[in-house]
């Protein structure tokens, strides 16, 4: 499995999320701008407030995803290491972990890959483990068969 291509896929996934959030923010703003004042002032104010809350939520998610993208871009995946570090791809016999960013489970090259943040508790458990070491994931003991 090619780590650099997997990283590119992760970057594309985050950028797609960012585009979706930018669109959702713009739509929430347009909805707030297009809300017309009706004879029922409370309904108008409630609708505008709800649109503003939506816009604020999308703005927070956008900032979070932008930070995630920046962190992912800073991680060098062109290296190999005898121990797990940020940028490591870990093969546990069909279960793959990529220490890169908090993207969750992705399909890549017909395999499921758990893309986890270097700050995640599981990543901290894995750091400095080597080929042959074991750890628990979802109540199952896994062995690191390969570090890429």
Burial environment of residue 106 by CB neighbours within 10 A (0 to 12, 13 to 18, 19 or more): middle
Asked if 5 and 18 count as a contact pair (C-beta separation under 8 A), the reply is: no
Return the pLDDT at 51.
76
Give the pLDDT of the chain (148 residues) as one tens digit per residue. 899 999 999 999 999 999 999 998 888 888 777 765 554 555 656 777 777 888 889 899 999 999 999 999 999 998 888 899 999 999 999 899 999 999 999 999 999 999 999 999 999 999 989 999 999 998 999 999 999 8
Return the pLDDT at 36.
56
DSSP per position, 34-60? HPPP-S-HHHHHHHHHHHHHHHHHHHH
pTM of the model: 0.82
Torsion-angle region of 31 (φ positive above 0: left; ψ -120 to 50: alpha; else: beta): alpha
């Amino acid at each position: 499995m090619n780590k650099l291509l997997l990283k590119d896929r992760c970057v594309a996934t985050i950028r797609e999320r960012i585009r979706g959030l930018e669109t959702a923010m713009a739509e929430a703003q347009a909805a707030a701008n297009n809300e017309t004042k009706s004879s029922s002032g409370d309904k108008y104010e409630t609708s505008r407030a709800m649109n503003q809350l939506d816009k604020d939520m999308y703005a927070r998610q956008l900032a979070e995803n932008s930070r995630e993208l920046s962190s992912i871009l800073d991680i060098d995946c062109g290296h190999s290491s005898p121990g797990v570090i940020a940028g490591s791809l870990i093969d546990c016999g069909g279960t793959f972990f990529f220490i890169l960013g908090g993207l969750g489970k992705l399909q890549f090259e017909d395999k499921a890959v758990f893309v986890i943040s270097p700050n995640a508790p599981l990543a901290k458990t894995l750091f400095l483990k080597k080929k042959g070491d074991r750890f628990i994931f979802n109540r199952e003991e896994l062995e690191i068969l390969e570090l890429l």
